[in-house]
Homo-oligomer: A and B are copies of this chain.
Amino acid sequence: MRVEYIQPFISSLQNAFQMMVGCTPQRCGLRLCDGQCPTHEISGVIGLSGRAAGMAILSFSPELALRATSVMLMCEATEVDSDVVDAVGELANMVAGAAKAELEEYELSVSLPNVVIGRGHQIRFPSNVTPICIPFETEFGPLTLEVGLTDLRAPVGA
């Protein structure tokens, strides 16, 4: 995966959080993952397919997931329930949806989002894929963006 593919995901994540959650996640690094990207307790996962195949993961601390749900649904979310699943899934969907529009040469479409819940869960990519992991900080807790994408287009000249 080429590093420049990550930029549309970073900007769409920041836009989605500004618009939907009222905060601006601050990047605190960028790295290629060796399969041990830090994952928080609640992760939104969404597939991408077309002329590339991939997966994007947004991983939230519980505090941030509850805060995002409270703002998005105009309620007081206090436990990880189906409202939190819907809010985290919708944020994953918005981030992937906006990023794919900027990666138009891959003609990507998005799957349904799923939300993984569990302390200490790991989400791993196949060993032949090197995802890129971007940790963020927000005023309500940490957030991680992880994206792995494999180009399926025929090589030039093939």
Contact = CB atoms under 8 A, between A and B. Distances in A.
Given A35-B82, A121-B118, A126-B86, A112 B150 contact: yes
Contacts of A57: 114
Interface stretch (A3-11, A48-56, A135-143): A48-56
A157 interface: no
A112 B53 contact: yes
Interface string A116-156: 11111111111111000000000000000000111000000
Interface of A is mostly: strand
A86 B35 CA distance: 12
A54 B126 contact: no
Interface in A90-121: 90, 109-121
A47 B85 CA distance: 17
A111 B55 contact: yes
Contacts of A127: 82, 85-86
Contacts of A125: 85, 89, 112, 114-115
A116 B116 contact: yes
A127 B112 CA distance: 11
5 contacts: A49-B49, A49-B110, A89-B126, A112-B125, A112-B129
